[in-house]
Amino acid sequence: VRVLGIEGTAWAASAALYDGATDSVHIETEAYQPESGGLHPREAAEHMAEHLPKVAESVLERARNERDQPIDAVAFSRGPGLGPCLRLAGTTARALAQRLDVPLVGVNHMVAHLEIGRHLSGFSSPVCLNASGANAHILGYRNGRYRVLGETMDTGVGNAIDKFTRHVGWSHPGGPKVEEAAANGSYVDLPYVVKGMDFSFSGIMSAAKDAVDTDGQSGAPVEDVCHGLQENIFAMLTEVAERALSLTGSSELVLGGGVGQNQRLQSMLASMCEQRGADFFAPENRFLRDNAGMIAVLGAKMYAAGDTVAIDDSGIDSNFRPDEVPVTWRDDDET
Ligand code: ATP
């Protein structure tokens, strides 16, 4: 099976080709980089309108050079994400499916973040921590659905970090800059909020803004605040991930999402798993941040299960939750 994937939920105008015969993924992405501030939905949509057709044509061209019948299906990110971006991704995917006369597959972006880790790791039934820009949740499979075992009560984890870096005047995205600065800092005490299986990031983000020395007069050095921010946020995620492993009895953890590129987060999760004798897998960075490769890979599984969608029913859903998706592509005995 060869599937063309289209991703356009927020910043990544991305297309990919997944070839099931060789299990290979080719990804092309044009990233939207705001000139100032965070992601502007209108600018992000303009970026999609300009770049999605180009990356899609380029990937398709490559597929055509390899075979006469280039692809079997077109898969696209149906949600969650920014409505104006999703609409453009949907339109691009529908037009391609019609032109190539192949079925369309509507993929949940958060389930794709999880499934790419399961696919690459070969784990059978892992718990998944999705740590991305607009989201943060822990998922586990039970009776035909991915259940949300824990999630953020307010902002997404990456968005919280990005809001802090905007406050100190750093350009978007802030995550990599916080990671770099934190390496040279020492711990500053900040709020740590886990309630049951859920976590909250808005309090720590505001406290970090207040703690930092922006006027040269008072407050802590920015490196120290970055260090404290990372330690607390990632410990919160690790604590809930550990509890999810314990509750489900699973001994496998996979990581997904752009914040998952952070080495400190990966090392905290790896040592927690090691201590409890669980296996941990983090995909390589190109599969962690938003990318069409994960859409194409899950699209291929859904297509093989007959889980396609008619063009008329293929509307986007900007609040599409992972537990709304009937999991059609797994064997029932995979609990
Ligand atoms: P979603 O999947 O929820 O739609 P998204 O569209 O924002 O999320 P992702 O690519 O999953 O996109 O994540 C982007 C986020 O990852 C940004 O908030 C960015 O700051 C953060 N990020 C990137 N690299 C790092 C890093 N090294 N450390 C921490 N955060 C990072």
pLDDT band per the 50, 70, 90 thresholds, residue 3: very high
Separation of 244 CA from ligand 1 center, angstroms?
A: 22
Separation of 176 CA from ligand 1 center, angstroms?
A: 9
Q: Atom 25 in ligand 1: which residue has the minimum CA distance?
A: 175
- Predicted pLDDT at 28: 98
- Predicted pLDDT at 260: 98
- Predicted pLDDT at 335: 52
Query: Which atom of ligand 1 lies nearest, measured to the CA of 135?
Result: 3
In short, whether 151's Cβ falls inside 6 Å of ligand 1 is: no
Separation of 217 CA from ligand 1 center, angstroms?
A: 32
Which domains are assigned to the chain? 2-113+287-324 (3.30.420.40), 124-285 (3.30.420.40)
In short, whether 29's Cβ falls inside 6 Å of ligand 1 is: no
List, for residues 40-98, the tens digit of each pLDDT value: 999 999 999 999 999 999 999 999 988 877 899 999 999 999 999 999 999 999 999 99
* CA–CA distance, 271 with 238 (Å, rounded to integer): 10
- Predicted pLDDT at 38: 85
| ipTM for this model | 0.98
- Predicted pLDDT at 334: 56
Residue with tokens 């330690």: 231
Separation of 259 CA from ligand 1 center, angstroms?
A: 5
- Predicted pLDDT at 80: 97
Separation of 198 CA from ligand 1 center, angstroms?
A: 19
In short, whether 132's Cβ falls inside 6 Å of ligand 1 is: yes
Q: Which letter, b or e, does each residue of 214-246 get, where b requires 16 or more Cβ atoms within 10 Å of its Cβ?
A: eeeeebbebbbbbbbbbbbbbebbbbbbbbbbe
Query: Which atom of ligand 1 lies nearest, measured to the CA of 174?
Result: 20
pLDDT band per the 50, 70, 90 thresholds, residue 332: low
Separation of 98 CA from ligand 1 center, angstroms?
A: 32
List, for residues 214-266, the tens digit of each pLDDT value: 676 778 999 999 999 999 999 999 999 999 999 999 999 999 999 999 999 99
- Predicted pLDDT at 285: 98
Q: Atom 29 in ligand 1: which residue has the minimum CA distance?
A: 175
In short, whether 70's Cβ falls inside 6 Å of ligand 1 is: no
H or E element in which residue 199 lies: strand 198-199
Contact, 270 vs 293, CB < 8 A? no
Separation of 218 CA from ligand 1 center, angstroms?
A: 30
- Helices 222-248 and 157-167, packing angle to 10 deg: 170
SS3 20: coil
Measured CA distances, 9 to 13, 73, 113, 130 (Å) = 8, 20, 12, 15
Residues in the chain: 335
Separation of 331 CA from ligand 1 center, angstroms?
A: 31
List, for residues 88-135, the tens digit of each pLDDT value: 999 999 999 999 999 999 999 999 999 999 999 999 999 999 999 999
In short, whether 258's Cβ falls inside 6 Å of ligand 1 is: yes
Query: Which atom of ligand 1 lies nearest, measured to the CA of 81?
Result: 4
Residue 10 CA, chain-centre distance (Å), reads 11
Residue with tokens 């001994």: 251
List, for residues 187-223, the tens digit of each pLDDT value: 999 999 999 999 999 999 999 999 997 676 778 999 9
φ, ψ dihedrals at 24, nearest 5°: -115, 150
Query: Which atom of ligand 1 lies nearest, measured to the CA of 132?
Result: 11
* 323, amino acid identity: D
Measured CA distances, 299 to 96, 229, 239 (Å) = 15, 36, 32
Q: Atom 5 in ligand 1: which residue has the minimum CA distance?
A: 133
* CA–CA distance, 28 with 30 (Å, rounded to integer): 7
C-beta neighbour count of 8 within 10 angstroms: 37
